[in-house]
Amino acid sequence: MELSPLAMTSITNFLLSSETFFLTGLLFARHKSPGSASYSWQLVMLFLAIAALIGGIDHGFFEIQGDSLAREIMKYITWIFLGIVTFLLALTIIKQYSQQSHHKILYLLALIQLIVNILLIFIVNNFLIVLVNYAPLMILMLIFNFINLKKGSGSWSMIIGILIGFIASGIQAAGIDIFTPINRDSLYHIGMMISVIFFYKAGLLLKTENPYRK
């Protein structure tokens, strides 16, 4: 029996989730202090894995039934988890690259961004809100890593992982569906499977000490 594009989207979502959970486990197994950039990054990976899992369940079991309350709930849960990923990404950037004296105000701004994002998800009901929320922070992470390469606090792994993610997102946004049953969404998931490998390698290089512990 030939797989449908929607079934392939669900399968690639589950594959992405499984891979990310595995890599997250490897990060959790490493010693690090709570409150460190490395600790926040492993949470980024964890919530990304959960979001991918929920997305796979949505595409595989709810979307095929058409518009329904259950499908709406699954969609909102996925978007909220991606918002949490963005919030944790902000915390990683703050702990890795900003001065400790600026942390409190930056944490507050990150929290406000999370709250506003969740409110807009329900008000606007468009995936564009998710993209607009995380894209600037990914660009910021890319820039910080690039300019801090010589200092040792930036990494090529993070840069490559982010660039691959952007390429995958571009393929998805461009609507490239020429490899049926592998459609634009499946191609995005496959691209992210490559990207998270580099995210894992980058996580090994982040600061492991707690900036508030003397």
For residue 63, what pLDDT is reported?
86
Residue bearing the bigger pLDDT, 109 or 127: 109
Q: Whole-number mean pLDDT of the chain?
A: 93
Residue bearing the bigger pLDDT, 179 or 57: 57
Question: Which residue spans within the chain are E strands per DSSP?
Answer: none
Share of the chain above pLDDT 90, in %: 76
- Structural contact between residues 28 and 42, judged by C-beta atoms closer than 8 angstroms: yes
For residue 178, what pLDDT is reported?
78
Distances (CA, A) of 38 to 28, 134, 141, 196: 9, 19, 14, 15
In DSSP terms, which residues pair with 179 in a beta bridge? 182
Tell me the per-residue pLDDT of 146-196, one tens digit each, with 9 for 90 and over: 999 999 899 999 999 999 999 999 988 888 887 888 899 999 999 999 999
Question: Which residue spans within 15-166 are E strands per DSSP?
Answer: none
Tell me the per-residue pLDDT of 82-100, one tens digit each, with 9 for 90 and over: 999 999 999 999 999 999 8
| Least confident stretch, 66-75, 119-128, 172-181 | 172-181
Alpha carbon distance 154, 159 (integer Å):
8
For residue 127, what pLDDT is reported?
85
For residue 214, what pLDDT is reported?
55
For residue 1, what pLDDT is reported?
63
Domains annotated for the chain, with CATH where assigned, are 5-203 (1.20.1070)
Alpha carbon distance 42, 200 (integer Å):
9
Q: Determine the residue type at 40.
A: S
Kindly report the number of other CB atoms within 10 A of residue 77's CB atom.
16
Alpha carbon distance 152, 161 (integer Å):
17
**Confidence tier at 67 by pLDDT (50, 70, 90):** confident
**Confidence tier at 128 by pLDDT (50, 70, 90):** confident
- pLDDT, average across residues 32-47: 95
Share of the chain above pLDDT 70, in %: 99
Tell me the per-residue pLDDT of 1-37, one tens digit each, with 9 for 90 and over: 678 989 999 999 999 999 999 999 999 999 999 989 9
Alpha carbon distance 9, 57 (integer Å):
10
